[in-house]
Chains A and B, each alone.
Chain A
Amino acid sequence: MSGYLEEVKLPDFRFWKEIEEKRIPLSAEVELTERCNNNCTHCYINLPANDQDAKKRELSFEEIRGIVDEAVGMGCLWWLITGGEPLLREDFPDIYLYLKRKGIRVSLFTNATLINTEITSLFKKYPPQTVEVTIYGLSQKTYEVVTRNPGSFDAFRRGINLLKENHISFTLETAGLPQNFHEIKEMRGFAQSVTGKSLGVVLRLNIGSRFKGRSNRNLIKRLRLPPEKVMEILKQDEKRYRKDMERFCQKFLRVSGNDHLFSCGAGVGGCHIDAYGNFQLCMLLRHPDCVYSLREGSFKEVWERFVPRVREIRANNKKYQEKCQRCFLESFCGQCPAWSWMEHGVLDEPVEYLCEIAHTEAVWLGLLKKGEKSLGGRGRK
């Protein structure tokens, strides 16, 4: 480009300041369905693909259009389509194209097993911004132990081959699990060779906030890797990890001194909408006080009136105030109202699982000595 059209790198874009000051909903995530053709052991959002009741309750294309129109009118520029498995929706191409035609940059989370030539033709002509594909293992055995879906490994390989043959850029992401732990290093090499990009690894398994399936929640808890295994995975890509952490620590490592419960960016420049039109500040936060049905109110009303009220909520739990709000690792560990809600059913209870991993990481990074606690801004025994 010669400069007539100005290319601007996203971090340099001029509207970032405005987003915070004026609260523009620049990005949104939408779950098109809670149904999935896989039945992954660690997943909290995998209703059966043929669940007719769930299907009937899902937002219709018309309802999605209404939400998109409003969000675009308020400045929405990015939209992440997720699920469940979003490609199960027969109207996926219509929804995708509608978003694109509204001038939205669209990303997709998918397991790739349903990628076919119709989808690749669509993406070839109308490219998505990013496609993130989940990978559960590098061998059929490992992959299908996780997905509990015979034939899913071959379907996944077919899907990513189709993406590759059609030059559709994608990334791979996995979840660190006892079942695939031994293949993660190999998966890193595979991701690099197939996509040219690093493998994303989810290391903190959340149990979801759909409290119906208690047994699944307990199963997910049992699948969590202990801190030392988490460290083993992080050390596989040590150079990158240390570099990322250095940048992160310089920017965020401090005692916030903020008694607001929400010190994160939830509801500041983005939001999440579930498959049934429930507006959430982020993907994980489903506390009834923090959810608003877009079938009962407009996106604009919710964004302008409801979200600021939620973000004003303060922590009442003394344990949280003393343990988390005085901890210099607060931003580092990922403790937030959503995690608290998922683990304990309230917004302000410390999550020990996150705390343990954060302390182990902090020791390894030299931020704390072994056995030291992180309260009060400095390490303390």
Chain B
Amino acid sequence: MNRLERIYAKSKDLVEREIEGEIIIVPLTSGIGDLEDELFSLNEVRRDVWARIDGKKPVSEIVKELEEIYETDREKLTSDVLGFLGELEKGNS
């Protein structure tokens, strides 16, 4: 399947925390973020992607929505979104 047509849902094994405006991803299971002195946080663009992962929207629609917020070309945005989703998948596998 074309990755842009894929639909992502947030894994139950990743917990989202918001502390003083920072979005922090805390993995429940082994994988990313196991190191004692590290945290994983999302910058502004990733937060907007994260907020749109709902188990219903395909990636293409997320990209489309982000295009309305960010003045950047679709190719760059698509690459960023897919990169981020890929990393979340990897960390959660």
Contact = CB atoms under 8 A, between A and B. Distances in A.
A101 B24 CA distance: 14
A6 B19 CA distance: 15
Contacts, number: 81
Contacts of A4: 46, 80, 83-84, 86-87
**How large, as a class, is the contact surface on chain B?**
20 to 34
B60 interface: no
Interface centre among A15, A24, A103, A124 (most CB of B within 10 A): A103
A6 B84 CA distance: 10
Interface in A1-41: 1-2, 4-11, 13-15, 18, 22, 24, 26
Given A75-B19, A125-B29, A5 B38 contact: no
Given A1-B32, A105-B26, A13 B83 contact: no
Contacts of B24: 77, 103
Nearest to A102: B15
Contacts of A5: 25, 32, 40-42, 46, 84, 87-88, 91
A6 B32 CA distance: 11
A210 to B, nearest CB: 31
B37 interface: yes
Contacts of A14: 22, 41
B93 interface: no
A293 interface: no
A329 interface: no
A126 B29 contact: yes
A104 interface: yes
Interface in B57-93: 80, 83-84, 86-88, 91
B34 interface: yes
A8 B38 contact: yes
B56 interface: no
A77 B37 CA distance: 13
B15 A75 contact: no
Contacts of B34: 127
Contacts of A103: 15-17, 24, 26
A130 B87 CA distance: 25
A179 interface: no
B32 to A, nearest CB: 7
Nearest to A14: B22
A1 B41 contact: no
Contacts of B19: 15, 24, 26, 75, 77
A30 B28 CA distance: 20
B30 interface: yes
A180 B35 CA distance: 32
A101 B32 contact: no
A158 interface: no
Contacts of B46: 4-6
Contacts of A72: 17
B20 A15 contact: yes
Contact of A7 (B36, B38, B80, B83): B38
A125 B30 contact: yes
B2 interface: no
A55 interface: no
Contacts of A125: 29-30
A100 interface: yes
A22 B22 CA distance: 14
B16 to A, nearest CB: 7
Contacts of A127: 29-30, 34
Given A4-B80, A5-B88, 8 more contacts: A14-B41, A15-B19, A15-B20, A26-B19, A77-B19, A77-B39, A104-B26, A124-B30
9 contacts: A1-B87, A5-B87, A6-B41, A10-B37, A15-B20, A24-B20, A77-B24, A102-B15, A127-B34
Interface of B: 15-17, 19-20, 22, 24-26, 28-30, 32, 34, 36-43, 46, 80, 83-84, 86-88, 91
